[in-house]
Amino acid sequence: MSSKGTVAVVGIGRMGANIARRLREIGYDVTAVYDVESGVAQVVAAELGASAAQTLSGVTASADTILTVVSDDAAMLAIFSETGDSLLDGANGKLFVNCATLSPGIHVEVERRAEARGASSLEACMASSIPQARAGTLYLMAGGRPETYERALPMLEGMSTALRYIGPAGSAAQVKALVNMVMNSNTAALAEGLGLGDALGLDLGMLREVFAQTGANSRVLETDGADMQAREHDVYFSAAHAAKDSGIALELAREHGLELPVAAATKAQYDRMIALGLGELDKSGVAELTFPGRATSRL
């Protein structure tokens, strides 16, 4: 057993698998992995020398810390179900570190359920992508009890180069929702600017250089601008996830009586991508809706 302790990972998609690789690389004993796609779990388990757990209760039994990276609110509540096979079975003394982007209230509920079983729960929201997960250079925002954060801190430091404790359960998820809402809106606006530039016959390389030196600059110009121009939409953060996360922010706004027309229009663009069968493209694929002639060509 590694001196750094035992870890199991639930949700072995692109992010979960690369986090598992990183943790093993820095000395954690990754004992088990679990995914609804059992074949994926078996491949990653073989690579890491871990078991491909067949049950959620088996995951909990295998490690002191269980890290989860699942797709949405429903999936999170399912793995922490209060009945049937669940991570909560035998959870006394365990630490759950939950990295998915979820509605804030889900993190609050998971903490309640975990503590009722004698376990601890922390949200560790990620504001980075696949390469950063593999390299251990994530930006992490944590929410939960301060003592739980301190318990998880050594592992979180191994996963990240920037780490911020936000506050109680749900607070980090609120911040993450705002981060993604603004990022998604910036991405959609950039796609419109480049799409209009293309329609005007402008040199898009020149246009991106001008954007970078003016008020049109943004982080997504750096990460997505060239991809939009070249129609290279390899997935780092999918359009479907962009729609989901913008929806989380809009629901928070509704709960507080606010209207966010820019965020709503952005979500509508990503919803349109899903309707066109483009939801599994990277969020940069929103340019397929704005460049002349692209939406009908369907790549």
**68 closest CA partner among 114, 115, 5:** 114
Distance, first Cα to last Cα, the chain: 49
Residue 60 has pLDDT above 70, yes or no: yes
8 Å CB contact between 53 and 8: yes
Q: Give strand pairing partners of 26.
A: none
> Which whole-number Å values give the CA distances from 140 to 78, 187, 234, in the listed order?
24, 21, 23
> Which tens digit of pLDDT belongs to each residue from 225-284?
999 999 999 999 999 999 999 999 999 999 999 999 999 999 999 999 999 999 999 999
| pLDDT value of position 261 | 98
| pLDDT value of position 297 | 52
Q: What is the mean pLDDT of residues 79-102?
A: 97
> Which tens digit of pLDDT belongs to each residue from 153-208?
999 999 999 999 999 999 999 999 999 999 999 999 999 999 999 999 999 999 99
> Which pairs from 39-48 meet CB under 8 Å and 24+ separation?
40/12, 40/13, 41/12, 44/12, 44/17, 44/20, 47/21, 48/20, 48/21, 48/24
Confidence of residue 148 (pLDDT cuts 50, 70, 90): very high
Whole-prediction pTM value?
0.93
Average model confidence (pLDDT) across the chain: 96
Question: How many whole angstroms separate alpha carbon 163 and alpha carbon 79?
Answer: 26
Question: How many whole angstroms separate alpha carbon 60 and alpha carbon 2?
Answer: 17
8 Å CB contact between 68 and 37: no
| pLDDT value of position 296 | 54
Q: What is the mean pLDDT of residues 33-55?
A: 96
Q: Could you tell me the two tokens for 92?
A: 């006394």
- 6-169 under CATH 3.40.630.30, yes or no: no
Same topology for domains 6-169 and 174-294, yes or no?
no
Residue 2 has pLDDT above 50, yes or no: no
Q: What is the mean pLDDT of residues 63-74?
A: 97
**154 closest CA partner among 62, 60, 26:** 26
Q: What is the mean pLDDT of residues 134-146?
A: 97
Residue 74 has pLDDT above 80, yes or no: yes
Q: Give strand pairing partners of 8.
A: 32, 66
pLDDT cut 90: percent of the chain above it: 96
| pLDDT value of position 3 | 65
Residue 108 has pLDDT above 50, yes or no: yes
Question: How many whole angstroms separate alpha carbon 218 and alpha carbon 183?
Answer: 9
Question: How many whole angstroms separate alpha carbon 9 and alpha carbon 19?
Answer: 9
Q: Could you tell me the two tokens for 228?
A: 């939009």
Residue 299 has pLDDT above 50, yes or no: no
Domain boundaries along the sequence of the chain:
6-169, 174-294
| pLDDT value of position 128 | 87
Q: What is the mean pLDDT of residues 212-217?
A: 98
Which class for 254: exposed (0-12), middle (13-18), buried (19 or more C-beta within 10 A)? Answer: exposed
Question: How many whole angstroms separate alpha carbon 60 and alpha carbon 92?
Answer: 10
Q: Could you tell me the two tokens for 202?
A: 């402008």
Q: Which residue has the higher pLDDT, 98 or 1?
A: 98
Class of domain 174-294: mainly alpha
Q: What are phi and psi of 268, to 5 degrees?
A: -60, -35
Grouping H, G, I as helix, E, B as strand and the rest as coil, residue 87 is coil
8 Å CB contact between 281 and 233: yes
Grouping H, G, I as helix, E, B as strand and the rest as coil, residue 39 is helix
Q: State the residue for tokens 């975990």.
A: 114
**Burial letters 78-93, b for 16+ CB under 10 A, else e:** bbbeeeeebbbbbbee
8 Å CB contact between 53 and 168: no
pLDDT cut 70: percent of the chain above it: 98
